[in-house]
Structures are given as structure tokens and as C-alpha cells.
Amino acid sequence: MATYTKTIASSSYVWPVSSFSSAICEGRITDQIVDDFGVNVKIRAVTTTSYNDYGDPTESYTDTYSKAYIHRWTATDDEVKEGIFKNGQIMFVFKNSDEAKIKPGNKIFYKNNWYRITQILPQVMAEVTYLIDAIVEISS
């Protein structure tokens, strides 16, 4: 991560006037990571429109496409050792611009499998969301 600092010199101190990581906070670097290392996925926004005679929800959906970086958590990851994630759990990482499409209950299609989004973990720096992590499980 690059930090830019302007300084004012005095006889015994170097005073930082401003320090920022705007390239990361504005999403330019993180968007480039998803663009470079991500794969094309189909996102299905699912909405419950009504209920059938048996009380089961009737769903309607809208499909869109986007890019996501995919991470499968393994037993060697510190986050798994600490219990934050489970071994084998899959996470899709999206750009902030996809935030409206990435909601719990929506589905992601990748490599002939549907995954239902179970949890959203926004990555925030300096009060700006720059990536959206979607924790998923295999769906039918």
C-alpha cells in the first residue's frame, strides 16, 4: 500500500501535513485486482413475488454479469484457524460498484454451479467500502 506524505521541515521535526491512501480508498487499485484476477460470473437477483396455494414463496429473478475474484478458504489460512471462516468455504470478492447486486439470498453462477449468498462482508477503509466479500454455499 502506498502512502503519500507532504512534510514541512523544521530544525528538529519533520511534520506530516497530509497523509492519504486515496488510490485504495477510491477503489482504483482494488478494482484493478478484481479486473486482473477475477472471473466472469452470473449474478441472479432473487425476489419473492408471491406465494403459491401451499404457502411456498414464488421467486422471480433478474440475471446480470460481473467479475469476481474467488477464494476458497483452507485449513492453513489464519482466518480458518481463528474460526472466522470454515475450511472449504468459498468467498466471491466483488468491486464496490456491484454492491446493489450482492445481497444475501441472491445467487451466483460459476463453473456449472449455483451458489447462494449467505453473508456479505464489506471491506471498509477510511469509511469507504472498496470491496464486497460474498460468502456462499452451494445451491440447487
The closest alpha carbon to 31, from 76, 86, 95, belongs to 95
In a domain, 30, yes or no: yes
**82 φ, ψ to 5°?**
-85, -10
Mean pLDDT of 119-134: 88
pLDDT digits (tens, 9 = 90+) for 86-118: 999 999 999 989 999 999 999 999 999 999 999
CA distance 38 to 93: 8
Which pLDDT value is given to residue 62?
92
In a domain, 29, yes or no: yes
**10 φ, ψ to 5°?**
-130, -175
In a domain, 67, yes or no: yes
In a domain, 19, yes or no: no
Higher pLDDT, 35 or 134: 134
In a domain, 33, yes or no: yes
Instruction: Record the pTM.
Output: 0.73
Which pLDDT value is given to residue 105?
92
Q: How many domains does the chain have?
A: 1
Quote the cell numbers at residue 33.
485486482
The closest alpha carbon to 64, from 104, 113, 109, belongs to 109
Which pLDDT value is given to residue 130?
84
pLDDT digits (tens, 9 = 90+) for 62-90: 999 999 999 999 999 999 999 989 999 99
In a domain, 94, yes or no: yes
Q: Sort 109 into a burial class: Cβ within 10 Å, 0-12 / 13-18 / 19+.
A: middle
Whether pLDDT at 120 is above 80: yes
What is the domain range of residue 86?
A: 24-139
- The CATH code of the domain that includes 70 is 2.40.10.270
In a domain, 12, yes or no: no
Res. 14 pLDDT band, cuts 50 70 90: very low
In a domain, 112, yes or no: yes
